[in-house]
Structure 1
Amino acid sequence: MLLFVDQLTNVDFSYLDPERGLVGETWLAGVELEGALDDQGMVCDFGTVKAKSRHWLDDTIDHCLLVPAEHPAIAIVDANGNYEITMTLTSGETLFCKAPKQAITLVKTKHINEASVGEWCVSQLLKLYPASVKSVAVSFVPEVIDGPYYHYSHGLRKHAGNCQRIAHGHRSKLEVKIDGKAAVEVTAKWAELWRDIYIGSTPDLINDSGDQYTFAYTAAQGEFRLSLPKRLCYLIDTDSTVELIASHIVQQIKSRFPENSVSVRAYEGLAKGAVCSL
């Protein structure tokens, strides 16, 4: 008998890719369990499936940096409760991240994608369920977005929860209106500008020499450090909450259209975000 839970939850995270760099992503997660019926006539209680699966996904993928641990361009050092990750991009540039282990998930694969992460999750999740459950399947799908969207990564040093992690991210849609009408070209330009971008806060910037930016800070979970090519970054003078991201975009657009009303609806992953109007 097969038991399924579609759209169980969504996960927001970033991952390393030697071609794209640091990629922010949002996926919808679903699970399937196959097994014999118990004395209640169930493979497993839906409450148990939802609670255990969500908890594991929240701890292991959501707001984490996923690293394809078997890729030859990536080196991993286990250092006193932290991981130090160095990736050589196909361009020859380097990306370095140091963070507490709880902020980084090492996935036994060469590439991070929906299928490879789903396959890796199976062995991790199967042991959470009763012996009557013989197999587990995990599916990930991105949100269907009809309009422009961008992949961004960031870290919120002041956040009390997991958003403090320096390299987590989202796949987010963007809606811009000028004088109440959809500004398609303006929206598309911002989506392209922030394709696979790291939104860095200048207060966290400790080095901008050469072609690299280095960001670092100490938060409740530990010490965080990230160094990556400048071309993969966009600097703002504030923190990078979605409220401040919406405010930044609307101010930049307003400077080009001072006589018009401008509204920006910026999403942070799936079905949540902020609106700012000027």
Structure 2
Amino acid sequence: MQLFVNDLTVIDFSYCCTERGIVGESWIVDVLLDGSLNEMSMVLDFAVVKKQIKAIIDDAVDHKLLLPMLDKAITVSDSTYREGHEFVDFKSKQGSYNLQSPRCAFAKISSDKIDIASVTSYLTEIILEQLPKNVQGLTLNLRAENIDGAFYHYTHGLKLHDGNCQRIAHGHRSKIHIYQNGQRSADLEAAWSLRWNDIYLASEADRIALADIELSANATENLSADQQLFSYFAPQGRFDIAVPSNVLDVVDCDSTVELLADFILRQLKQQSPDNEFKVVAFEGVAKGAIANG
């Protein structure tokens, strides 16, 4: 017997890619279970699938930075500053990224790259360990949202958030709708999609001096003038990151989707003050914020 749940959850995360740097991503998760019927004549209660399996997936990868541990461009080590924190040093074609975060902010995947196949294998093993014995098989279908139009991948962190959004390197794949004087503008949407393609969004308020950054000794010794430094404390711990300037946009606000929608609107109004705009900014799949002005 088989049991399925489509659109079980959406995982929002970032991952290290030697070609693109740190990339924000959002994948929809479908689940198919194979098994015999239990004492309730079910393979598994839908409530358990929707609650337990979703929770396992969220805990494993959601709002984390996924690390391909077989990639020689990645180095992970215990922090020398803070207990329960780790350093991550990553070299990509876009430049070097260096981080310190609580250990829970990273997912270590035994692969040389992060893709749907490697994440599917990682999650399948974790989930099967926690399912009842009558469930003999599990098929996960991870897929990107089908977007007809402009979108971008961004990575960020929200220091004021008391949940997992506080992690300094998690991200999203997000579409954007922009209306100018009541008409949707493909040109403006494409321009913002290009501006924020594989971007790291940092808040100016989180910028930190070189003397105060907490990174690995190797990272600190080899920081370049092309890297910019950011850090903050949040409920889970301290977060530090050094980001290449060519994949960075520093905004004058926090990077909640509400404030990002307002940021885009303010940029548009500055360029065309006599026009009316509506910005529909998405955060991953099927959620976001609207700014009008």
Q: Which runs of 5+ in 1 are unaligned?
A: none
Q: Secondary structure at the match of 1:254?
A: helix
Query: 1:153-168 alignment to 2 at 5 Å?
Result: 153-168=155-170
In the TM superposition, structure 1's runs of 4+ consecutive aligned residues that sit over 6 Å from their partners are none
2:34 & 2:77 partners in 1: Cα distance?
A: 38
1:224 match: 239
Cα shift at 1:207: 4.3
Letter in 2 for 1:90: K
Match of 1:249 among 244, 251, 264: 264
TM-superposed CA distance for 1:197, in Å, is 0.3
Match of 2:89 in 1: 86
Matched, 1:273 2:275: no
Q: Matched residues in 2 for 1:123 and 1:155: separation?
A: 28
Establish whether residue 41 from structure 1 lines up as the match of residue 45 from structure 2.
no
- TM-score w.r.t. length of structure 2: 0.91
The 5 Å alignment of 1:86-105 reads 86-90=89-93, 93-105=95-107
Match among 196, 203, 216 for residue 194 of structure 1: 196
Give the gaps of 5 or more residues in structure 2.
211-223
Looking at structure 1, the residues matched to 119 and 252 of structure 2 have their Cα atoms a distance apart, in angstroms, of: 35
Deviation at 1:40, TM superposition (A): 2.6
Corresponding residue number in structure 2 for 1:69? 69
Cα offset for 1:214?
A: 1.2
Structure 2 counterpart SS, 1:159: coil
Amino acid at match of 2:177: E
Code of the aligned partner of 1:266: A
Equivalent-residue separation in structure 1 for 2:253 and 2:188 (angstroms): 23
Alignment match of 2:182 (pick from 176, 180, 183): 180
Q: Give the number of aligned pairs.
A: 277
Alpha-carbon contact 2:281-2:289 (below 8 Å) kept: yes
Amino acid of the structure 1 residue aligned with 2:23 = V
Q: Work out whether 1:170 is the aligned partner of 2:185.
A: no
SS of equivalent residue, structure 1 residue 206: coil
The answer for the alignment partner of 2:136 in structure 1 is 134
**Alpha-carbon distance between aligned partners in 1 of 2:209 and 2:262, rounded to the nearest angstrom:** 26
Tell me, yes or no, if structure 1 residue 15 matches structure 2 residue 15. Answer: yes
Instruction: For residue 99 of structure 1, report the CA deviation from its aligned partner.
Output: 0.6
Distance 1:207 1:56 in 2: 38
8 Å CA contact 2:21–2:93 kept in 1: the answer is no
1:236 is matched with: 251
Deviation at 1:35, TM superposition (A): 1.7
> 2:218 — aligned with what?
none
TM-score w.r.t. structure 1 length?
A: 0.96
Percent identity at matched positions? 40
Shift of 1:41: 2.3
CA RMSD of aligned residues (A): 1.4
